[in-house]
Amino acid sequence: MKQIFLIASSLLLMTGVLSAQEWKPESTEWYYPKPQVVNPGQTPGQPPSDAIVLFDGKNLSQWVSSDGTGEAKWKVSNGEMTVVPGTGMIRTKEYFGDCQLHIEFKSPPAEKYSGQNRGNSGIFLQSAYEVQVLDGDNNPTYVNGMIGSIYKQSAPLANAYTKNGEWQVYDIYYKAPRFGRGGVLEKPAYVTVVLNGIVVQNNFEMKGNTPYTGLPEYHAHGRLPLALQDHGTAVAFRNIWIRNL
């Protein structure tokens, strides 16, 4: 409704039916529909009132194994869920499209590992588009696969990782791709990624999925689960919530 109003108003102005001097302030104001009231979390990073809490530190009731074998097999203790290497990826029971995602993670002790073998996991938006999780504490690797990257597509604008063993905070704002008749891509996906309060991906246009080998491709889909990767290292996660946009 408001878009139609603005278009009609612009046409009146451009065609000279109304001059700028004839407009009244209230002519360009609207009062409906009113935005939904959403109460912020009590402290920064805590879920707002309309968030879907995917992990609150207690159990994996919102998750299943992504291979379809049943319950998620990761470990839950001390308010954290931790990858159990070899048990496979996990995904949410619920499906999502456009969203705001908050997730916190911590790399395991560095030990002897380096590069892609140190603190590696991944956040797969709609099970297909990976925001990389990796230890970024003095850990050189290819930049389109480092912490804060859109895997194999976009290097981060900055390395905002703090220290190994400290909790890192991702806030991700995602616009899902749109597909038309016959599965034709009409609009690509876009993502903004904030790591520890610093923008590391600024409305990046995703080129498709994020494969380990080969080039990205789009495959038509609708709403899909959020997935977390088992890459063989015991990365811990906590305080995971999501808002549908």
pLDDT tens for residues 187-238?
999 999 999 999 999 999 999 999 999 999 999 999 999 999 999 999 999 9
Contacts of residues 178-183 at CB distance under 8 Å and 24 or more positions apart, as own/partner, are 179/218, 179/220, 179/221, 183/219, 183/220
Confidence of residue 15 (pLDDT cuts 50, 70, 90): low
pLDDT for 110 equals: 75
CA distance 126 to 128: 5
Q: Which amino acid is at 208?
A: G
Confidence of residue 72 (pLDDT cuts 50, 70, 90): very high
pLDDT for 182 equals: 95
Question: Which residue's structure tokens are 């916190």?
Answer: 104
Provide the whole-model pTM. Answer: 0.90
Mean pLDDT, residues 23-43 taken together:
88
Contact 234, 84 (CB under 8 A): yes
pLDDT digits (tens, 9 = 90+) for 139-154: 999 999 999 999 999 9
CB atoms within 10 A of CB 93: 11
Contact 125, 174 (CB under 8 A): yes
Alpha-carbon distance values, 75 to 61, 226, 230, 240 (Å): 12, 18, 12, 15
CA distance 211 to 227: 15
| Residue-range domains of the chain with CATH | 1-35 (no CATH), 49-244 (2.60.120.560)
pLDDT for 20 equals: 67
pLDDT for 158 equals: 97
pLDDT for 127 equals: 97
